[in-house]
A = this chain, B = another copy of it.
């Protein structure tokens, strides 16, 4: 099950588009799901993409335009007039419409909106453009079904039929009072099985009504929907007036992007990039961390040069430099990853920092003793008992420091509202490298009496 785009198929599409073979396209492409056609358009050259797009009927054009990746979207938008964009927007959900034009120059946005014939749709889009991208307001759509609390069921069904035409997916009916304040909800199932004269008042549920505020962070919305297993969540303003709803598909995207961002940060990539981004963008996204890593390395060189005399007398000291720095880095990353994850899940409920650190320290003691014993053995065989003591004790100390810093730094970053995921990247590794070197060489000099 599921369409999978191959290089061969893409070539065939490309040929069919160039030769304007509408019949082939109709049987092989237009039969596909919108999401699959969007993937094809993503991959085609800009001019071919435009030609294929022009062959679709208007409603599908809008659906596919909304599904494209940013790059392909920008290309297509550029080739459309403001009128054309406006008529596409009218066929889209309000949230997709607002996202589509949000990055255009202010002037063009105004022009596009002036061409939208449906005033209500235009108002919705203008309203949505006000919210920050990463808030509930930025995620929500204006299409939802609401019913007044004093309606009877049959009135509700009539209104529903009217409203439902523009609401693609109905999951829950939101119940509001006369001032449009959210008071509860009603499942479609419940409505379906109720007798026509029953009042919504006697049918709706208001216990544990979950809603989010327009200003709530998108990750907060994701956590709420995940925790309460919601398919959609109503969005209210500061006066508890119902202003929109967020559906789970948009939140799944938030969750995936968030996971991707954390992973990239942890890998030392500073801006969102994809396999398909240009070489220059990829280079730029990676350089900041590489430069930090390099400065760490240069600092490390400085530390070692301070012990130059010792190393030239006992060159064996240099043997274990990579082991010490690598282990400091590894332990630091492990500790920070756990803290970052528990922060991301929002379970800082019992966030006594001291408790977390002492636990990490305990783990470090267990692993540190074990690993130090092993490395003592190796260094002993390798060189001498003295080197064994130096490496063993240093490794234990470095592991302890790395564990404590690895725990502390993300907690501190979080406290100062900086994304703690930063800490899992080269930052913590670099810090532990330099610190580890200093500890190791100092202990070495002391033991060898240099």
Check A87 for interface membership: any CB of B closer than 8 A: no
Give Cα A32 to B228, complex, Å. Answer: 12
Query: Which B residues are CB-close (under 8 A) to A117?
Result: none
A334 and B269 contact, CB distance less than 8 A: yes
* Given A229-B249, A252-B252: A359 in contact with B279 (beta carbons within 8 A): yes
Q: Would you give the shortest CB distance from A367 to chain B, in whole angstroms? A: 5
* Residues of A287-305 contacting chain B, CB below 8 A: 287, 289-291, 293-294, 296-298, 300-301, 304-305
**Bound CA–CA A243/B170 (angstroms):** 25
Question: Is A170 touching B188 in the complex (CB atoms < 8 A)?
Answer: yes
- Give the segment of A18-26, A73-81, A315-323 that binds chain B: A315-323
- A33 adjacent to chain B (CB < 8 Å): yes
Say which residue of B207, B282, B323 sits within 8 Å of A300 (CB atoms). Answer: B323
Residue from A32, A326, A341, A367 having most chain B Cβ neighbours under 10 A:
A326
**A410 CB, nearest partner CB in chain B, Å:** 12
Question: Chain B nearest CB: distance from A252 CB in Å?
Answer: 5
Question: A365 to B266, alpha carbons, bound, how many Å?
Answer: 23
Using an 8 Å CB-CB cutoff, how does the interface string of A258-272 with B read, 1 for contact, 0 for none? 011011101111000
Bound Cα distance A32, B349 (Å): 17
CB within 8 Å of B: which A186-224 residues: 187-189, 191-193, 207-208, 210-213, 216, 220, 224
Contact B322 A437 (CB under 8 A): yes
Residues of B within 8 A of A342 (CB): 274-275
Q: Provide the bound-state CA to CA distance between A433 and B322, in Å.
A: 8
- Establish whether residues B290 and A330, one from each chain, have CB atoms under 8 Å apart when the complex forms: yes
Give the segment of A44-52, A102-110, A122-130, A370-378 that binds chain B. Answer: A370-378
- Nearest to A207 among chain B residues (CB) is B31
Among residues of B, the one whose C-beta sits closest to the C-beta of A403 is B286
- Complexed CA–CA distance, A356 and B277 (Å): 12
Residue of A255, A280, A305, A334 contacting most chain B CB atoms (<10 Å)? A334
Count residues of A near B (Cβ-Cβ below 8 Å): 126
Residues of B within 8 A of A327 (CB): 290, 293-294, 297
B321 touches A322 (CB 8 A): yes
The answer to whether B6 touches A273, judged by C-beta atoms less than 8 angstroms apart, is no
A104 to chain B, nearest CB (A): 25
Contact with B along A349-371 (1 / 0, CB 8 A): 11000001001001100110011
A306 CB, nearest partner CB in chain B, Å? 10
Q: Are B433 and A326 touching (Cβ within 8 A)?
A: yes
In whole angstroms, how far apart are the Cα atoms of A31 and B208 in the complex? 8
Question: Given A193-B161, A318-B304: A263 and B264 within 8 A (CB)?
Answer: no
Asked whether A382 lies within 8 Å of B287 as measured between CB atoms, the reply is no
Cα–Cα distance between A260 and B424 once the two chains are bound (Å):
14
Q: A256-B226, A267-B333, A267-B424 are in contact. Are A318 and B316 (CB under 8 A)?
A: no
* In the complex, A426 has a CB within 8 A of chain B: yes
Residues of chain B with a CB closer than 8 A to A220's CB: 2
Contact across chains for A334 and B267 when beta carbons are under 8 A apart: yes
6 pairs, A vs B, C-beta closer than 8 Å: A1-B216, A1-B224, A263-B341, A308-B316, A326-B433, A329-B329
New contact pairs (9) apart from A31-B207, A252-B255, A289-B334, CB-CB < 8 Å: A5-B349, A43-B349, A170-B189, A229-B249, A231-B231, A259-B262, A266-B337, A279-B362, A300-B319
Question: Interface residues, chain A, CB within 8 Å of chain B?
Answer: 1-2, 4-7, 31-33, 35, 43, 157, 160-161, 164, 169-171, 187-189, 191-193, 207-208, 210-213, 216, 220, 224-231, 248-249, 251-253, 255-256, 259-260, 262-264, 266-269, 273-275, 279-280, 282-283, 286-287, 289-291, 293-294, 296-298, 300-301, 304-305, 308, 311-312, 315-316, 318-327, 329-331, 333-334, 336-342, 347, 349-350, 356, 359, 362-363, 366-367, 370-371, 374-375, 378-379, 382, 424, 426, 429-430, 433, 437
